[in-house]
Amino acid sequence: MPELIKHSLEFPINSSVSILYKRLSTPSGLSEWFANDVIVKDKIFTFFWENSKQEAKLLKSRTDHFIRFKWEDNNTKDDYFEFLIQVDEMTSDVSLIITDFAEDKQDQEEQTSLWRKQISLLKITIGS
């Protein structure tokens, strides 16, 4: 498999860290903006969309800071997606940084477009 392109996107979010983290890490929070439904069992998150489902393993998390997942059908070592909450020390502005991996530039552009759409939904759910 060719080497994947790691890329990160930063989104300003007008929310408290704890509210944002709950939307990123719980089945009920993720089902508000990321998927139609989410079930968790033994660190495996099953995401349901209209006609499909996909499983992701929770790799790491730190409450109110970050959560990292790896799609179960992906066998590459370095391929994950991560939600990182960053707070500016001077202004207390909250940003969400998403890290993802793409196969090529076209895949990266498609992922970026999808993440922008999903984050728009996230902002609506938290009133940002």
Residue spans of alpha helices (H) in the chain: 17-25, 27-30, 105-126
Q: What are phi and psi of 79, to 5 degrees?
A: -90, 115
Q: Which fold has domain 5-25+58-126?
A: Alpha-D-Glucose-1,6-Bisphosphate; Chain A, domain 4 (3.30.530)
**Which residues partner with 85 through β-bridges?**
96
What are the residue boundaries of the structural domains of the chain, listed by start? Answer: 5-25+58-126
Nearest by Cα to 69 from 60, 39, 111, 27: 60
Bridge partners, 12 (sequence order): 95
pTM: 0.91
Q: How far is the C-alpha of 80 from the C-alpha of 82, rounded, in Å?
A: 7
pLDDT digits 0-9 by tens, 83-121? 999 999 999 999 999 999 998 999 999 999 999 999 999
Q: What is the pLDDT of residues 11-54, one digit of tens each?
A: 999 999 999 999 999 999 999 999 999 999 999 999 999 989 99
